[in-house]
Amino acid sequence: MQAYITSSIPYVNAPPHIGHALELVQADAIARYQRLAGNATILQTGTDENAFKNVLAARAQGVSVQALVDRNSQRFHELTQALAIAADTFIRTTESRHRHGVAAFWRRLRSEDIFKQQYTGLYCTGCEDFLLERDLVQGTCPEHLAEPETVAEENYFFRLSSYQAVLEEAIRGGRIKIVPETRKNEVLSFIRSGLQDISVSRDTSRMAGWGIPVPGDSSQTIYVWIDALINYITGQGFGSGEAWRRVWNTETKKIHVIGKNVWKFHAVYWPALLLSAGLPLPDEIVVHGFLTVEGAKISKSLANVIDPFACIEPFGAEAVRYSLLTLSPFADGDYSQRYLRQRYQADLANGIGNLATRLTALCQKARLNGLQPAAAPEPPLDFARHMGGHRFDRALRAFWTPATAVNQGIERERPWEQIQSAQTAQSLREWVHSLWVIAYWMQPFMPTTGAKILHGLHQPHITRLPPLFPRLETG
């Protein structure tokens, strides 16, 4: 099987925050797990750069829009590197390959699905979307807490209403799997409430000339969310040859990892657009919750934005990856450097790190030969089921049963007292096998740590591993 995993692409009106890191490590964990399972896998991420909010941010900072998106896109790219995200493609929506692909996609849409009309609506710049009165809370956008602007202009529209029945059947019947089930039900409820045709362009003058023009009509700019969604195929070459077909086809398992605030675009708009263009649908949409700080949503106005680089610097990428993946993947999760420190000390320094150093030190004293495995180990009990459901938190907990058993065995048998005995050698081999299993299947979460342990266990003679997670200074 081949798998194609994508994260959503974030706006670049501001540098990345810890919530962006969460989605990256989730998508990366899925991709790395697929590769370990023997599946050819492609992981794509990138940045969404054609939003009007980028124009506003550039004006506020007194820089050109291109300078702003170049600077912030670079920071997102640096974050993928700092977190060891094994991405095969990093797509920027200002790239020519994307612009050409978007134009080709627009031309591929069924002509009867696109029409032009005058429209007046409530537009939220934060959402980059028109809202209905029923979406508002006391007259404001519930996510951005701002009153939307009344906009009246002539736009192109897409006949989303024509796809209501087929979308409902695709999601209800599992042709498009939405995880978790609560989000699937939310999407179905939205569809059953009645789909309205959607605006898919903006007046070019209002966009200050920023964005991708509608083919054949330079007075209109393609709506940023339509343009952004198409990155999932332009990043693989759509619009310039046929190479993209090797990835975006009915045989490849196509998984989108997204935040809960953008499911409407990915689970409703995107499939409808693909159907209109005669292209395959995504297979699965994994919807994660938000990170909060002391129960509050991360927000610049609340001054509680967590810089992921400020977490990586003192604790390391492996600890940041691990701590994010221990949170419930689908619910909102509270995160802070205090939580990161707790997980580092309890689970990593005193947990797997201590076990690896302690066990390999005993193996060195016993002069135990290293492992020379002919095949990959079977995963811990329930691990594959949890990973199949994208329950990273539960998959990580599956490691603690064998790890605890090894620690208890060491305490019970006290191997250092008879380090050269045959019984000690047998016990050490069993414990090393358990550590091997843990290290191998740990790699989707902590690739460097897993690889270090495996390297140590695969030597001709096992020697003591240095501390994988040095204990932190208190304070």
Which residue out of 77, 98, 124, 266 is catalytically annotated?
A: 124
Does the active-site annotation cover 311?
A: no
Does the active-site annotation cover 144?
A: yes
Closest CA to 30 of 216, 337, 213, 283: 283
Does the active-site annotation cover 363?
A: no
Does the active-site annotation cover 390?
A: no
Strand partners, 140: 137
Amino acid, single-letter form, for residue 334: D
Which residue out of 177, 253, 297, 452 is catalytically annotated?
A: 297
User: What does the alpha-carbon distance between residue 67 and residue 264 come to, in Å, rounded to a whole number?
Assistant: 31
User: What does the alpha-carbon distance between residue 182 and residue 113 come to, in Å, rounded to a whole number?
Assistant: 31
Question: Edge to edge, what strands does the sheet with 198-199 contain?
Answer: 129-131, 114-124, 149-158, 198-199
Does the active-site annotation cover 20?
A: yes
Which residue out of 141, 254, 266, 311 is catalytically annotated?
A: 141
β-pairing, 217-222 vs 213-214, is antiparallel
Phi-psi region of 461 (alpha: psi -120 to 50; beta: other; left: phi over 0): beta
- The structure tokens listed for 361 are 């030190």
Does the active-site annotation cover 452?
A: no
- Spatial neighbors of 410 by CB under 8 A, at least 6 apart, are 358, 359, 362, 431
Whether 386 contacts 329, CB under 8 Å: no
- List the catalytic residues: 17, 20, 124, 127, 141, 144, 297, 300
